[in-house]
Amino acid sequence: MVREVAKSCKDKKHEKPSFRRRLFGFLFNLILIGMIFVAGYVGVVYLRMPSLDSILHETRPPTIVFLDSAGGEIRSSNRIMGTPVTVDTLPPHVWQSIVAIEDKRFFEHGPIDMRATARAVFLNLFSGRFAAGGSTITQQTAKNIFLSRDKKISRKVQELILAKWLENRFSKNQILDLYMNRVSLVGGMRGIDAAARAMFGVGATNLTVAQSAQIAAMLKAPTYYSPLKNPERNIARARVVLAEMVRQNYISLDVARHAAAELAPAPGVRDTNLYRYWTDFVMDELESVVGNLDCDVYVYTTIDRQFQEHVADVLPRHTGEYQGAVLAMSRDGALRAMSGGANYQVSQFNRTLAARQPGSAFKPVVYLMALENGMTPDSYVNDSPFAVGDYNPKNYNDHYYGDIPLSMAFAKSVNSVPVKLTKIYGIDSVLDMAGRLGVGTKLKREYSTVLGASDMTLLDLTNMYAVIWNDGLSVRPYSITKITKMDGTVLYERNPSDAIQVLQPGTVSAMTELLADVIAPGGTGHRAAAPGVLGGKTGTSNDNRDAWFIGATDKHIIGVWVGNDDFTPMSSKITGGTVPAEIFHDIVK
């Protein structure tokens, strides 16, 4: 009996496992190996992930927002994101439109919406193509903040890990804030505020229900549903958004119908290239005022938006094959308009800062010297050929007037008289006067300087004339009135010093009389005459390389330059009394 039991046990020991047991063991081992592989793969993917905290608090160049004299935004620099927004700071319909169309169960599910994922898988299998997606707002936020758009399994795994991390670290409202501030809807910029400004010219906090629906409509495919590029598709999808908002009790049916009636193609925003010469100029001034920035700032500037747009419209209509520049400032030196060329997209060089020969536009310096030394507009001078050493300047067309009043010599812009006056009172007296007007250190100590042979910029020249029309008080050009952080903290505020009396009232009165004669009939600048114009002066350099007109109204001193960038003569014999005077006229009329 014992022998039989032992034999039975021995037989069982060598009995082969059943097929079912072997299959179960194989599957178990397969699953175990798969789990180990998946865990290892996830671990490798996790190790290759970017630093979550460092990317969440990414560093970027400070955003600089330029404002006009009325406090309105004209342009921004380094702005890759719109103004930060939150669920609490936005009208509810803005974020509700996003949740309604992108993730209606956002506040109910975790990082993954299993119901939406299962539905998407079923639809995709049923249709045989990728017809639906199940990504939650949390998953999209992870993708927008941290990941590339490569369609790889590793990226999807990273997305799921990041979504879980976000849900553990932040509240639902905070995740929605991150999404709204990081989603890319406009080329190169992120955030719904950036989209609102680019599409509708308003910040996200001012979006209407209709506009909110149109921006939410873009989220699926920003270019395909753009209200700028494809308004019909955008409006059709925006209606779907409004319907979803009604279905989810975010808005009433009446509100939706009213919003649907307001849906329209986005107007877009104006061409900010109109301000590029200006903002480039202000950027240089900004660096000299506050140095290197480490925070986002608002820069309050002196520019007059309407005036700037008007100048930018007038200038290219007159320059034709040549280049041109216009600068306008108020009497205290506040720069109000600046166009450094006919087209910024063609050339970014700012010609208001180009050093060129001012020609006869420099002559007021000499006449101011003569007036200070006792001459008057009625004093007689002799206009005839005259030489100082080897320097033998000639009048335009070699025409001389003989004995004439000082006022006529100035109005006709003769060349012999300024040289004779300089011979009488000395070149040092001319340079001293120029120094008082703010331009003396840049001039050559030569007789040719009195006829405009020393290079000056349009900014220098316009500022020099501003002193005359500022009742002889010193003028210092400025473009910035205040710089603040985004929270309102003031980093800089202009505190002007008292102006200095550099010209006596009698001298100023006589000089403004001479400048008024220039635009009178028979004067070289008569084409600039228009109601409200106080006077001006023409200037033309040798061989018609540069043509200038600087004039004034009761509000502005305006300088105009026309020429070629390569210093070649203008073939059509343009002078300061032709195209520049006409540009001035069309600006002020």
In whole angstroms, what is the distance from residue 528 CA to residue 197 CA? 39
Q: Once rounded to an integer, what is the mean pLDDT over residues 248-275?
A: 90
CA dihedral 565, 570, 571, 577 (to 10 degrees): 160
Predicted pLDDT at 243: 97
In whole angstroms, what is the distance from residue 335 CA to residue 328 CA? 6
Element (H, E) at 306: helix 305-314
- Total tally of structural domains belonging to the chain: 1
Whether 554 is covered by a domain: the verdict is no
Whether 250 is covered by a domain: the verdict is yes
pLDDT at position 489 over 90: yes
Whether 301 is covered by a domain: the verdict is no
Predicted pLDDT at 129: 47
Amino acid identity, residue 393?
P
Q: 283 near 77, Cβ under 8 Å?
A: yes
Predicted pLDDT at 26: 61
Q: Once rounded to an integer, what is the mean pLDDT over residues 567-576?
A: 89
Whether 72 is covered by a domain: the verdict is no
Q: Once rounded to an integer, what is the mean pLDDT over residues 513-525?
A: 95
Q: Once rounded to an integer, what is the mean pLDDT over residues 530-542?
A: 95
Predicted pLDDT at 37: 53
Rg of the chain taking only CA atoms, in angstroms: 37
Amino acid identity, residue 382?
N
The whole domain housing 133 covers 84-262
Whether 236 is covered by a domain: the verdict is yes
Q: List, for residues 262-308, the tens digit of each pLDDT value.
A: 999 998 776 678 899 999 999 999 988 888 888 889 999 999 999 99
**Assigned token pair, 108:** 């109910």
Whether 570 is covered by a domain: the verdict is no
Element (H, E) at 484: strand 480-485
In whole angstroms, what is the distance from residue 142 CA to residue 144 CA? 6
Q: Once rounded to an integer, what is the mean pLDDT over residues 359-369?
A: 96
**Assigned token pair, 161:** 């890990």
**Assigned token pair, 537:** 């002066």
Predicted pLDDT at 164: 78
In whole angstroms, what is the distance from residue 477 CA to residue 332 CA? 8
pLDDT at position 525 over 50: yes
In total, the chain counts a number of residues equal to 589
Q: Once rounded to an integer, what is the mean pLDDT over residues 366-382?
A: 96
**Assigned token pair, 473:** 């008080």
Question: 64-67 and 297-301: which strand pairing?
Answer: parallel
Predicted pLDDT at 147: 47
Average pLDDT, rounded, for the chain: 86
In whole angstroms, what is the distance from residue 380 CA to residue 400 CA? 14
Predicted pLDDT at 453: 92
Domain containing 152 — which CATH number?
Answer: 1.10.3810.10
In whole angstroms, what is the distance from residue 201 CA to residue 193 CA? 10
Angle at 266 between CA 264 and CA 269, to 5 degrees: 150
In whole angstroms, what is the distance from residue 574 CA to residue 563 CA? 9
pLDDT at position 27 over 70: no
**Assigned token pair, 158:** 């990273």
pLDDT at position 325 over 60: yes
pLDDT at position 131 over 50: no
Q: List, for residues 48-79, the tens digit of each pLDDT value.
A: 555 555 555 656 678 899 999 999 989 888 77
Whole-number percent of the chain with pLDDT over 70: 83
Whether 505 is covered by a domain: the verdict is no
Whether 308 is covered by a domain: the verdict is no
Main-chain dihedrals φ then ψ at residue 304, nearest 5 degrees: -95, 110
C-alpha count within 13 angstroms, C-beta hemisphere, residue 256: 18
CA dihedral 90, 93, 96, 101 (to 10 degrees): -130
Lowest mean pLDDT among 139-143, 342-346, 429-433: 139-143
Main-chain dihedrals φ then ψ at residue 30, nearest 5 degrees: -65, -45
Predicted pLDDT at 28: 61
C-alpha to C-alpha distances, 105 to 75, 101, 259, nearest whole angstrom? 38, 10, 24
In whole angstroms, what is the distance from residue 164 CA to residue 109 CA? 12
**Cα dihedral 576, 582, 587, 589 sign:** positive
Q: List, for residues 383-415, the tens digit of each pLDDT value.
A: 999 888 888 888 877 889 999 999 999 999 999
pLDDT at position 200 over 60: yes
Predicted pLDDT at 81: 76
